[in-house]
Chain A
Amino acid sequence: MAAILEVEGLHVAYGATPVLHGVGFTVEARGITTILGANGAGKTTTLRAVSGMVPPVGTVRFDGRRIDGRASEDIARLGIAHVPEGRGTFVGFTVEENLRLGAYVRRDRVAVGHDLERVYAHFPILGARRRQAAGTLSGGEQQMLALARALMLRPRLLLLDEPSLGLAPIVVQEIFRIVRAINERDGVSVLLVEQNATLALGLADRAYLLETGRVVLAGPADEIQRDDAIRRAYLGY
């Protein structure tokens, strides 16, 4: 299988503080890759570097084309949808306005209308609240809205930053179920950053473990999940 995203030698620094020291990983086309690691390992920064929110040093190839150094609005237009940490919904806007913003770069208005209905079928709670301000939604509903908004772009690659953060387990399972459905049905590739290793390894086909800005472990997700030594040493369960 060909890789849709290839990252090599990624360095990022915030001011004088280096955060990533030559991170490399791939996401297969139609695959799900997860990046695991503790707080401060550089997971969020890695996603931000891919989507151009922070300027990276190194190479980032999307579908074979270099995208490092490009503006994040251009990267979004190529078909990479980033659901940021903290969700980044437009709180003063209605649910439907948030979704329309997600589809902003698309010109196929009819298909956008269909996708809107599809999103409401995936997430019935969003349909029920479509005229409500996004800021009035619960945490789980906002995470669903953030995911739904990203899907409105019709992305080829979805970047998910800690979708389980602060949510009840039942909501988390619902969100992971939807991510799997999107991946299987629509062939959207996923790069998932998570602290919840069990959940992430259950979903992903490839996994990378990040420690203080370096990849310390890489391999197929099921192998990592089965290896007790790795689990105890790195994942702590």
Chain B
Amino acid sequence: MAIDTFFQQVVSGLATGGIYASLALALVMIYQATEIVNFAQGEMAMFSTYLAWSMLNAGLPYWAAFFGTLVVAFLGGLLIERVVVRPVEGQPVLTLVIVCIGLLVILNSLAGWIYSYVIQPFPSPFPRTPIRIGKVVFGQHDLGVIVVTLVLLCLLFVFFRYTTLGLAMRAAAQNPGSSRLCGIRVGGMLALGWGLAALVGAVAGMLIAPVIFLEPNMMGGILIYAFAAATLGGITSPFGAVVGGFLVGVIENLAGTYIPFIGTELKLTVALMIIVVVLLVRPSGLFGHAVVRRV
């Protein structure tokens, strides 16, 4: 009996972990390209989810709305880089933080103004009926989320590892000067990075919304988990962010189940604990490398 609970908790931990992994990866992509910690990543995902909701209300089938939202989110990410981020490129880190927080507040208020703060249900594309394997019961949404996030992460891996465009994007992030000498349009690559990060965030938003419901503040807690994931895995390592995401999801769930005083109320504290402990013990994270800066 106890082992069933354990497996159930691990699987649902992996499901939320997939969400954290996606969002953490989006954070790392932007951080690596521009050294910006994008505090607005969660609100961008939330706004995209509202767009999906609008499309669903307009009568579009789920997957049409899903992919339609991805396109719009991608273009929105591009636009945000061009309009909001580009003018402050190379500014001190505090300026960048303020700009991102400003973006967060604007997107949050805009969503509240357009869609109101009333909590809305958001559909899952997966059947409600649970699947029984042996004595263990799995939610189909959980399994679906794990599959979708794994597919997404694999696609991103193939894109960055094996395509010329992905290679150029990584090059532009690592060494802008040499990239220009190769004829790579570095500014365009950074914008593409924001577009892709927004797209990944949109997937995370649409997959978590059926669980936590749709409202303008829905991503606040999720973003903290994503930060915990990115910190745990290492903010300089995309692979680490993904592993960190799944780890945080599982740790959070198991802690909630097996440590009595944590329960559901103190789960978020687990994420903050992870951030603090990692920063104290191993600031570069599990897979990251220390950033050396010559001054």
B-binding residues in A (CB < 8 A)? 51-53, 71-74, 76-77, 81-82, 84, 88-90, 92-93, 97, 100-102, 104-105, 149, 153
On whether the beta carbons of A84 and B178 are closer than 8 Å, the reply is yes
Q: In the bound complex, how far is the Cα of B86 from the Cα of A230, in angstroms?
A: 51
Other-chain residue from A52, A84, A101 in contact with B171 (beta carbon distance below 8 A): A101
* CB of B245, distance to nearest CB on chain A (Å): 23
**Once the chains bind, are B184 and A101 in contact (CB under 8 Å)?**
yes
Collect the chain A residues with CB atoms within 8 Å of residue B183's CB.
73-74, 76-77, 104-105, 153
Q: What's the Cα separation between A112 and B177 when bound, in Å?
A: 23
Assembled-state Cα–Cα distance A179/B175 (Å): 25
Per the bound structure, the CA–CA distance linking A76 and B183 in Å amounts to 5
Interchain CA distance A186-B181 in the complex, whole Å: 21
A84 and B178 alpha carbons, distance in the complex (Å): 8
Contacting pair B181 A104 (CB below 8 A): no
Which residue in B164, B174, B180, B186 is a CB contact (below 8 Å) of A90? B174
Q: Check A149 against B182 for contact (C-beta < 8 Å).
A: yes
**Contact A101–B182 (Cβ < 8 Å):** yes
Type the 1/0 row for B157-194, where 1 means its CB is closer than 8 Å to any CB of A: 00000001001101100110111111111100000000
**Residues of B contacting A72 with CB < 8 Å?**
180-181
Majority secondary structure, B binding face: helix
Task: Check A82/B181 contact, CB under 8 A, given A90-B174, A92-B174, A101-B171.
Answer: yes
Instruction: Given A73-B186, A100-B164, A104-B168, answer yes or no on A90-B181 (Cβ-Cβ < 8 Å).
Output: no
Give how many A-B residue pairs fall within 8 Å (CB-CB).
Answer: 61
Query: With A73-B185, A88-B175, A90-B174 in contact, is A97–B180 under 8 Å at CB?
Result: no
List, sorted by A's number, 23 A–B pairs whose CB atoms are closer than 8 Å: A52-B180, A53-B180, A53-B181, A72-B180, A72-B181, A73-B180, A73-B183, A73-B186, A76-B180, A82-B181, A84-B178, A88-B175, A88-B181, A93-B170, A97-B167, A100-B164, A101-B167, A101-B182, A104-B164, A104-B167, A105-B184, A153-B182, A153-B183
Q: How far is the CB of A114 from chain B (nearest CB, A)?
A: 17
Q: In the complex, which of the residues B167, B178, B182, B186 contacts A105, with contact meaning CB atoms closer than 8 Å?
A: B182
Within 8 Å by CB of A81, from B164, B168, B181, lies B181
B contact residues around A105 at 8 Å (CB): 182-184
If A104-B164, A104-B182, A104-B184 touch, whether A90 touches B177 (CB-CB below 8 Å) is no
Q: Provide the bound-state CA to CA distance between A24 and B7, in Å.
A: 75
On chain B, the residues within 8 Å of A71 by CB distance are 180
Q: From A53, A72, A77, name the one whose CB has the most chain B CB atoms within 10 angstroms.
A: A72
